[in-house]
Amino acid sequence: MPDLGKYADTVILAYVVSFVLLIGLSAITWAQSRRAKRLLDAEEARRGK
Amino acid sequence: MLALFTRDLKLAFRSGGGFGLALAFFLIVVMFVPFGVGSDLTLLARIAPGILWIGALLACLLSLDRIFQLDHEDGTLDVLATSPLPLSGITAAKATAHWVTTGLPLTLAAIPLGYLLNLPEPAYIWLFASLAIGTPALSFIGAFGAAVTVGIKRGGLLLSLLVLPLYIPTLIFGAVSVTKSVDGLNPLPSLILLAGLTLFSVVLMPFASALALKANLN
Amino acid sequence: MLALFTRDLKLAFRSGGGFGLALAFFLIVVMFVPFGVGSDLTLLARIAPGILWIGALLACLLSLDRIFQLDHEDGTLDVLATSPLPLSGITAAKATAHWVTTGLPLTLAAIPLGYLLNLPEPAYIWLFASLAIGTPALSFIGAFGAAVTVGIKRGGLLLSLLVLPLYIPTLIFGAVSVTKSVDGLNPLPSLILLAGLTLFSVVLMPFASALALKANLN
Amino acid sequence: MTIKATNICCSRGPRQVLQDVCFSLTSGDCLILRGPNGVGKSTLLRVLAGLSQQSSGTLELDHEEIAYSGHLDAVKFQLTIAENLSFWAGVYGTDTTAQVIAHFGLNDLADRYAANLSAGQKRRLGLARMTLSNRKIWLMDEPTTSLDAEHTGLIAQSISDHCFAGGIAVLSTHLDLDIPSAKTLDLLQFIPTKDTNTSIFLQGSF
Amino acid sequence: MTIKATNICCSRGPRQVLQDVCFSLTSGDCLILRGPNGVGKSTLLRVLAGLSQQSSGTLELDHEEIAYSGHLDAVKFQLTIAENLSFWAGVYGTDTTAQVIAHFGLNDLADRYAANLSAGQKRRLGLARMTLSNRKIWLMDEPTTSLDAEHTGLIAQSISDHCFAGGIAVLSTHLDLDIPSAKTLDLLQFIPTKDTNTSIFLQGSF
Amino acid sequence: MSFWEYANPVKFMGLSGRLIPVLSVLTALCLAVGILWGFFGTPDDYKQGSTVKIIFLHVPSAMIAINAWIMMMITSLVWLIRRHHVSALAAKAAAPIGLTMTLIALGTGAIWGKPMWGTYWAWDPRLTSFMILAVFYLGYIALWNAIEDTDVAADLTSILCMVGSVFALLSRYAVNFWNQGLHQGASLSLDKEEHVDNAFYFPLLVCIAGFVLLFVILVLIRTRTEIRLRRAASLQARNT
Ligand code: HEM
Ligand SMILES: Nc1ncnc2c1ncn2[C@@H]1O[C@H](COP(=O)(O)OP(=O)(O)OP(=O)(O)O)[C@@H](O)[C@H]1O
Ligand SMILES: Nc1ncnc2c1ncn2[C@@H]1O[C@H](COP(=O)(O)OP(=O)(O)OP(=O)(O)O)[C@@H](O)[C@H]1O
Ligand SMILES: [Mg+2]
Ligand SMILES: [Mg+2]
């Protein structure tokens, strides 16, 4: 861990906020993608039968 | 009545995101003020309480006509009026749904927006309290205005004209309580008056609205 | 096109007084500001140009949804789209009618309302000029927003969300020109930019609106 | 369960539309209002529903038992068919949504937004509410507009069943509906003839 | 003056409604679209009017000659009957308002606000616009809803006259209109059967 | 084979399916290297102290925020002119990413502003125009969500995107005209004299590459999601 000096809070907060947003976006994207795939598979299966 | 309340919430979400849009309007009105009056921070701090209250009031106003107009246009109001629900209950349920979809989110959003306008530190809690207490009055008074103008095709502006003067006491008590807290004075008296006003509106306005609706259906 | 323009004017008068109501809203917004921010005259004088411009803009905004929504709901828009009039002509006629019923009276009313807010002497002529030049842009940009949201049941708030960021340049050039005149600076540059913006909107927005309408009729 | 209308006069705006309408109905009756466009069928139905006031005459009926459907469908475009009906079920405190959907042949469409229905499908959804309401007195204004032959038959059948089960129905229509036991009332006979407008401003002379 | 539709497919949202509709009409023809509720009559009429796009197929007709009337009346409540019609006269560049008002029996009502009309009177006002437009191709969606027998006859007569004078009319209806020489087209035969939804998203597999 | 063939959903799904694994490895690599290097391997600035480390998130996100809109502009134009569905869906997919990036730039900027300018927020032109950009994104997304018919939604959002672009540019200019700002100018220019010290410059470049890759991969995944949903809707409509 580098010495962040008196601005430690600021820097950490900036990184945390950014990571939360980035990871949140990625997680949502991934979850939606999974859901869409499942929905489509179910629908294709229905057509198949 | 519960069915009506939940349906109104559902409709607010469905028709292009109830919550989000009142908020967005509020955000934008607050954003416009610096463009209009310049970005001097001390100036902004001085007008912040008033602008925030006026912004919330206008955002609330803008969605008032949805309360009854849509139900009138597609005939739902006629059917509701012949249903087991009392008209005053109908208006109360609708006003409450309106508050949940506008007043409540506006109250929550006012805090960060206060920062944009450089609102002084001690005022935040009072801003929050005054909006939380005052916005129900806005919804219930607004529902009355909506009931009066429901028959008139797109009476949006007439509605504003009727409702805005009725909003003046709420605005004054609300804004004064925040301004007082900024100036280091006691904001409680005006907050108590505001609470009284809200209580009065919530209890009595539904009956006035019901009368107006009844007349409008004729 | 002329038929459409005169009919829109007629409808604005009939449906609860087009002129009067935008004006009334403007009046009341301007009136609310002293209630909200207190009645300190020097403070009011400083924020007057911005408030007057924002008030006019909001009054204009509030009546935008009438431009197409009513005609859509009763099927008139479908018929107009199959009529000899080109869609861009239709939107231009309607935007012009909107300007005549809101922008024009707002411009005229701004002068006396400026007095209420203690607007300094030399600013009146610039306030009038900037509103006269700027409000057509508001109507034409607004007509575009209305065309985009016309299919959506009571898209009033969505309309505001879409239109308000588009209004920012107009507001800035307009308000800055008045502020500059108050501060004794030269307001002409921003007034010229404003004129350019209006010209651009009046000439090009009807085509964008026509595209949006076309898509919405589908 | 009865409806008794005695000498009812109805006005629209300043104009008197119907004069001295009299009829009485009991359980099991179905009354079909007939007459050319503009004779006052909708006006009379709104008076019966309590939505407008008659200008004179007396009307005896139990307002708690009324289900009304007008020219408009009272359908919310942003809700699905099932949601529309379960809302009304909530209002009327009933829970027969599923049966009603099946009865009106809306099963396939139950999860479709009402905005995406054709004119006739929307009308059917509007009428399904009547059955759902579980009320005794049905007031229906031209129920079969936009409906095809099959569904016109279905509605006529529903009305017959309702009356057979002890309900009352008053409806207006321009078609010949197949409802056995229905009485018809031609409103042409109630067009105001005498110069007895009940307006207080027409009394005396000044 | 001809209309020629070849293999027209129409979709509503993601759903294909009609498949391979073909017909051709020339001056003097009247085509009545038939089929149960929801089969796609309105959809087809909107495609003919150019308000929607067909998803495939070709359509030859002169868009400059179309007069369209849909389920809605396109009537302004705040204007009187005469004002409503003279507005449309302005739009279409004609000046036969007075004749049309007389022809549709609206003389007595000419100065009444449209808000104060009954359902059938409003519908008549909506249809008067067709005659007023002076255009050759009439597209009408259930023109006779809410009309009484007399006025249904009047509309049928107007359509016959229009075709006789060399116009073309395409209309949908659930009633039996008395229009001699009208061809009917049952849309039931065009319900999609083959598995050929034209959506690009259904091609291939992934 | 023409580039336009990838506008076909099947082709697009095939290609993007093969690209995603490769790209995700690259993205992870770039982001990890860039951020670790930036966070652990750079000195403090003589003026800004350790806060300079925020630059590794702030500048890339700000760049993506702007460029995502430009990408949406191009794909929207492609939809309007050539009516390739994948193009419209890519624009739809990019909007939430652009919004998030705008929020990250605003957030990191605000946090950075507190020690540097003594306030989280000031009405500086750069900051203000970013807030306006966020509103444009919001409106665009709200419009997509408000319209049910997908082709109509694609048309309208595309038109909005084009008109919005013009006005976003105008606002940028107007806002500059309205207020002189606190924010520093371009420090990334190729001109050696102007850009930041090399110690920050190279990790910053790696971070930017990482953000660009992340943007691309998220757009691909989201576009795939949209395509699947469209196919599912079409199948559903056909089955009933
Ligand atoms: C909410 C506040 C802020 C916003 C919205 C914002 C936005 C931006 C934007 C849009 C860029 C341009 C990126 C590009 O075009 O390449 C940028 C760059 C930059 N910002 Fe900020 N900023 C904010 C606050 C700050 C603060 C407080 C600082 C530090 C004191 C700062 C330092 C920088 C630096 C050093 C750059 C790189 C300059 C360049 O390469 O153009 N920013 N910021
Ligand atoms: N405000 C008003 N002023 C004057 N006359 C009115 C007003 N409102 C309605 N009317 C008239 O009242 C009469 C009755 O209307 P009503 O809607 O009851 O007719 P209806 O029998 O339902 O006709 P339809 O079969 O066309 O639906 C009509 O002739 C109408 O023109
Ligand atoms: N967005 C949509 N998604 C799916 N189906 C739709 C959508 N919009 C309409 N439909 C369906 O398309 C079909 C055709 O509708 P259309 O309005 O053309 O029917 P119609 O023949 O005019 O019926 P009616 O006689 O009831 O007026 C209907 O079954 C309707 O439910
Ligand atoms: Mg009627
Ligand atoms: Mg139809």
Question: Could you report the per-residue pLDDT of C70-103, keeping only the tens digit for each?
Answer: 888 889 999 999 988 899 999 999 999 999 989 9
Residue to mutate among B10, B14, B26, B37, with most C CBs inside 10 A, is B37
Instruction: Tell me which residue in E37, E146, E149 faces D148 most closely, judged by beta carbons.
Output: E37
> What is the average per-residue pLDDT within B155-179?
86
> What is residue E177's DSSP assignment?
-
B24 contact residues in F (CB cutoff 8 A): 135, 138-139, 142
The reported pLDDT for the residue numbered F189 is 45
Q: In whole angstroms, what is the distance from residue D122 CA to residue D128 CA? A: 10
User: CA torsion sign, C163 to C164 to C169 to C171?
Assistant: positive
For residue range B49-61, list pLDDT tens digits in order. 999 999 999 888 8
Element (H, E) at E70: none
C32 contact residues in B (CB cutoff 8 A): 54, 57, 164, 168, 171
Residue E9 forms beta bridges with which residues? E56
Ligand 3 centre distance from Cα of residue E37 (Å): 8
> What is residue E113's DSSP assignment?
B
Q: In whole angstroms, what is the distance from residue D12 CA to residue D3 CA? A: 23
Q: In whole angstroms, what is the distance from residue B218 CA to residue C49 CA? A: 46
> What is the average per-residue pLDDT within E118-138?
92
> What is the average per-residue pLDDT within F47-54?
80
Poorest-confidence range of D156-160, E93-97, F39-43, F206-210? Answer: F39-43
Separation of CA B20 from chain center = 15
Sheet holding D168-172, edge to edge: D66-69, D137-141, D168-172, D30-34, D182-186
- Alpha helix (H) residue ranges in chain C: 2-14, 18-37, 41-62, 69-73, 76-81, 87-98, 104-116, 123-148, 156-182, 188-217
CA B207 to each of CA B147, C190, E165: distance values in angstroms, whole numbers, following the listed order? 11, 52, 61
F203 part of a folded domain: yes
Q: Do residues D129 and D67 lie in contact, with contact meaning Cβ atoms separated by under 8 Å?
A: yes
Across the interface, whether the CB atoms of A3 and F104 are under 8 A apart is answered no
Element (H, E) at D184: strand D182-186
Question: Chain D: residue nearest F237 by CA?
Answer: D112
In this model, does residue F192 exceed pLDDT 50?
no
Q: In whole angstroms, what is the distance from residue C206 CA to residue B113 CA? A: 35
- Nearest of E199, E138, E187 to residue E21 by alpha carbon: E187
The reported pLDDT for the residue numbered B15 is 62
CA angle, residues B149, B13, B153, in degrees to nearest 5: 20
Q: Where does residue E102 rank: exposed (0-12), middle (13-18), buried (19+ CB within 10 A)?
A: exposed
Count of beta carbons in the 10 Å neighbourhood of residue D26? 11
Q: Which residues' Cβ are closer than 6 Å to ligand 1?
A: F 55, 58-59, 62-63, 105-106, 109-110, 112-113, 116-117, 126-127, 130, 183-184, 186-188
Q: In whole angstroms, what is the distance from residue F57 CA to residue A13 CA? A: 12
In this model, does residue F190 exceed pLDDT 50?
no
Q: Do residues F189 and C188 lie in contact, with contact meaning Cβ atoms separated by under 8 Å?
A: no
Burial readout D180-196 (b: 16 or more C-beta within 10 A, e: otherwise): eebeebebeebebeeee
In this model, does residue A14 exceed pLDDT 70?
yes
Q: In whole angstroms, what is the distance from residue C97 CA to residue C7 CA? A: 9
> What is the average per-residue pLDDT within B153-168?
79
- Alpha helix (H) residue ranges in chain D: 41-49, 81-92, 97-103, 119-133, 149-164
Over chain A, what is the mean pLDDT?
Answer: 88
The CATH classification of domain E2-203, taken from the options 3.40.50.620, 3.90.180.10, 3.40.50.300, 1.10.3720.10: 3.40.50.300
Q: From its phi and psi, is residue F149 left (phi > 0), alpha (psi between -120 and 50) or beta?
A: beta
The reported pLDDT for the residue numbered E30 is 94
Q: Where does residue E183 rank: exposed (0-12), middle (13-18), buried (19+ CB within 10 A)?
A: exposed
- Pocket of ligand 3 contains residue E18 by CB under 6 Å: no
> What is residue C23's DSSP assignment?
H
Ligand 5 centre distance from Cα of residue B122 (Å): 62
CB of E111 within 8 Å of a chain C CB? The answer is: no
In this model, does residue C209 exceed pLDDT 90?
yes
Query: What are C71's two structure tokens?
Result: 């005609």
Name the residue with tokens 């016959």: E160
In this model, does residue D153 exceed pLDDT 50?
yes
Ligand 2 centre distance from Cα of residue D42 (Å): 7
Q: Do residues E37 and E15 lie in contact, with contact meaning Cβ atoms separated by under 8 Å?
A: no
Poorest-confidence range of A5-9, D30-34, D146-150, E71-75? Answer: A5-9
Q: In whole angstroms, what is the distance from residue F99 CA to residue F61 CA? A: 10
Residues 6+ apart with CB under 8 A from F16: F220, F223, F224
Over chain D, what is the mean pLDDT?
Answer: 89
Element (H, E) at E55: none
What's the number of CA atoms in the CB half-sphere (13 Å) around residue F59? 26
Q: In whole angstroms, what is the distance from residue B135 CA to residue B104 CA? A: 8
For residue range D66-97, list pLDDT tens digits in order. 999 999 989 988 889 999 998 899 888 888 89
F5 part of a folded domain: no
In this model, does residue F176 exceed pLDDT 70?
yes
In this model, does residue E206 exceed pLDDT 80?
no
Residue E11 phi, psi dihedral angles, 5° rounding: -125, 150
Name the residue with tokens 């549709």: E104
DSSP output for chain B: -HHHHHHHHHHHHHTT-HHHHHHHHHHHHHHHHHHHH---HHHHHHHHHHHHHHHHHHHHHHTGGGTTHHHHHTTHHHHHHTSSS-HHHHHHHHHHHHIIIIIHHHHHHHHHHHHHTT--TTHHHHHHHHHHHHHHHHHHHHHHHHHHTTTSTT-HHHHHHHHHHHHHHHHHHHHHHHHHHHTTS--HHHHHHHHHHHHHHHHHHHHHHHHHHHHHH-
Domain boundaries, chain D: 2-203
- Nearest of C214, C91, F83 to residue E50 by alpha carbon: C214
In this model, does residue D45 exceed pLDDT 60?
yes
The reported pLDDT for the residue numbered C168 is 93
Query: What are F86's two structure tokens?
Result: 């994948």
State which ligand 2 atom lies nearest to the alpha carbon of D45. 18
- Nearest of B100, B113, B99, B111 to residue B27 by alpha carbon: B113
F121 part of a folded domain: yes
Tell me the residue ranges of DSSP E strands in E92-155.
Answer: 137-141
- Nearest of F182, F187, F183 to residue F197 by alpha carbon: F187
Query: What are F44's two structure tokens?
Result: 């403090």
Name residue B75's amino acid. G
- Pocket of ligand 3 contains residue E15 by CB under 6 Å: yes
Query: B127 pLDDT band (50/70/90 cuts)?
Result: very high
User: How far is the first Cα of chain D from the last one, in angstroms, to the nearest whole number?
Assistant: 47
Q: In whole angstroms, what is the distance from residue E74 CA to residue C76 CA? A: 4
Count of beta carbons in the 10 Å neighbourhood of residue B5? 17
Percent of chain B whose pLDDT exceeds 70: 94
Q: From its phi and psi, is residue B38 left (phi > 0), alpha (psi between -120 and 50) or beta?
A: left
> What is the average per-residue pLDDT within C127-147?
95
Percent of chain D whose pLDDT exceeds 90: 55
> What is the average per-residue pLDDT within B72-82?
88
| pTM, 2 dp | 0.91
F184 part of a folded domain: yes
F185 part of a folded domain: yes
What is the count of structural domains for chain F? 1
In this model, does residue B17 exceed pLDDT 60?
no
- Nearest of F42, F32, F156, F22 to residue F92 by alpha carbon: F156
CATH assignment of the domain containing F222: 1.20.120
Q: In whole angstroms, what is the distance from residue B135 CA to residue C129 CA? A: 38
Residue D8 phi, psi dihedral angles, 5° rounding: -80, 130
User: CA torsion sign, F32 to F36 to F39 to F43?
Assistant: negative
D67 CA: distance to closest CA in chain B (Å):
7
CA D179 to each of CA D158, D166, F31: distance values in angstroms, whole numbers, following the listed order? 9, 15, 76
- Of C21 and D13, the one with more pLDDT: D13
In this model, does residue B215 exceed pLDDT 60?
yes
Query: E181 pLDDT band (50/70/90 cuts)?
Result: confident
Residues 6+ apart with CB under 8 A from C146: C64, C65, C67, C68, C69, C159, C209
Percent of chain F whose pLDDT exceeds 90: 57
Q: In whole angstroms, what is the distance from residue B14 CA to residue C11 CA? A: 31
The reported pLDDT for the residue numbered F191 is 46
A49 CA: distance to closest CA in chain F (Å):
11
Burial readout C8-31 (b: 16 or more C-beta within 10 A, e: otherwise): bbbbbebbbbbbbbbbbbbbbbbb
Q: In whole angstroms, what is the distance from residue B145 CA to residue B63 CA? A: 12
DSSP output for chain F: --GGGGGSHHHHHHHHHHHHHHHHHHHHHHHHHHHHHHHHS-PPBTTTBGGGGGHHHHHHHHHHHHHHHHHHHHHHHHHHHH--HHHHHHHHHHHHHHHHHHHHHHHHHHHHHHHHHSSS----HHHHHHHHHHHHHHHHHHHHHH--SHHHHHHHHHHHHHHHHHHHHHHHHHHHHH---SS------S-TTTSPPHHHHHHHHHHHHHHHHHHHHHHHHHHHHHHHHHHHHHHHHHH-
E203 contact residues in F (CB cutoff 8 A): 8-10
Ligand 3 centre distance from Cα of residue F14 (Å): 35
- Nearest of F168, F96, F107, F89 to residue F136 by alpha carbon: F168
